[in-house]
Amino acid sequence: MDYIFIILGLIALVGGGEILVRGATSIALKFKITPFVVGMTVVAFGTSAPELLVSLSAALDGSPDISIGNVVGSNIANIALVLGATALVYPIRVSKTSLSVDWPMLMLASLLFYFFILNLKLEWYEGIIFVSILATFTIWMIRKSRKAGLKKTDEVSNDLDKEGMKEMNFWMSSLLIVGGCLALVIGADWLVYGAKNIARSYDVSESVISLSMIAIGTSLPELATSIMAAFKKQTDIAIGNILGSNLFNILSILGITAIVKEINVNELILQSDIFWMLGLSAVIFPMMLYERDISRSEGAILVIAYSAYIYFLIQ
């Protein structure tokens, strides 16, 4: 029965994330925000919503290992599995903004996260710092986008027309957002419930379950969104979604969760998994810098690295 809860939870999370992204993207485009910024903000937040709901639910349910492990594991999965698999489908062209702004912001947030948890807890005021940084960065990006020009917005609007999204008015888009959020809440509750029971029955730590099974499950929206963007050759959205999701995972998910309830950190995560997250975040920079794209061969390297991480995790 616990496996059924996990499967249903994942279905609800993926479906809810997809509905939320469609509704939110439709509204964002009405405000003439460029596709890259849509990927870094609206789509990133939408595809990170499963992690937010899982982490909040776990923290309130007294399972801090799931809260932290979910975010660390998801960030590792997003970079190595999602980015790698997306590059295998179609090489990802990297914009100047990704190199000069988004990657540095992600590394800054990751290093700040590492510094904050050295005392094995993430406190409420650190959560406020995270959320404040994210809010400032998001407002700056949106203002910069609107000043820079809006030609690419029309390109994305054309893609949305083919999917029947142009017909949605503001109220229909809002209804999709509400429905998506509801599905995410239910899915997160089912997933955490099933994962906790499985961990207890097999005597596996909640930390391992969250770093692997839950992390992969909550990364499915990013995987689906990025691969679909790669098929459409909308790599601005693909790379923006991945970098933005990891940034949101740290600043928004951990920030909001820590404000609601202080999070205790498992020492094993601090000794090992956090360095996988930092290392993979660092290694994609030279990949992005060389010829300004992430090739299929580099994508394969990332997928192999993720396989190695899972292997060492379960040993």
How far apart (Å, rounded) are the C-alpha atoms in residues 61 and 192?
Answer: 9
Domain boundary assignment for the chain: 2-314
- 233 φ/ψ sector (left φ>0, alpha ψ -120 to 50, else beta): left
The partner residues of 93 in beta bridges, in order of sequence, read 293
pLDDT at 167: 46
Amino acid at 190: W
Q: What percent of the chain has pLDDT over 70?
A: 77
Which residue in this structure is represented by tokens 């209804």? 175
What pLDDT is attached to residue 2? 78
Does pLDDT of 171 surpass 90? no
SS3 169: coil
pLDDT grade, residue 46 (50/70/90)?
low
Q: Residue 283: pLDDT above 60? A: yes
Rounded Cα distance between 294 and 114, Å, is 27
CA–CA separation, 252 and 75 (whole Å): 13
Higher per-residue pLDDT: 245 or 297: 297
Average pLDDT over residues 256-262: 90
More confident residue, 251 or 40: 251
Decide if pLDDT at 150 tops 70. no
User: How far apart are the two ends of the chain, measured CA to CA in Å?
Assistant: 26
Q: What letter does residue 204 receive in the DSSP assignment? A: -
Average pLDDT of span 21-41: 65
pLDDT at 97 over 60: yes
The reported pLDDT for the residue numbered 165 is 45
Task: Identify the bridge partners of residue 92 per DSSP, sorted by sequence position.
Answer: 294
Q: Can you read off the two tokens belonging to residue 287?
A: 């990949």
- pLDDT tier at 17 (50, 70, 90 boundaries)? low
- Could you tell me if 99 and 289 are in contact, meaning their C-beta atoms sit under 8 angstroms apart? yes
**161 has a pLDDT exceeding 60:** no
Kindly indicate the confidence band of residue 75, based on its pLDDT and cuts at 50, 70 and 90: very high
Question: Bigger pLDDT: 28 or 257?
Answer: 257
Helix H or strand E segment including 293: strand 293-294
Question: For 100-147, what is each residue's pLDDT tens digit?
Answer: 888 999 999 999 999 999 999 999 999 999 999 988 988 887 777 666
Residue type, 165: M
**Mean pLDDT of all residues in 253-263:** 90
pLDDT value for 160: 46
Mean pLDDT of 245-266: 90
How many C-beta atoms lie closer than 10 Å to residue 139's C-beta?
Answer: 11
Q: Could you report the per-residue pLDDT of 173-227, keeping only the tens digit for each? A: 778 777 877 777 677 678 767 877 777 777 777 778 778 877 877 777 667 667 7
| 4 Cβ contact list (under 8 Å, min separation 6) | 194
Q: What is the second-level CATH architecture of the domain 2-314?
A: Up-down Bundle (1.20)
What confidence category does residue 81 fall into, taking pLDDT thresholds of 50, 70 and 90?
A: very high
Q: What is the spatial distance between Cα 240 and Cα 170, in angstroms, rounded to a whole number? A: 25
Look up the pTM and report it.
0.77
Q: Given this model, what pLDDT does residue 124 score?
A: 93
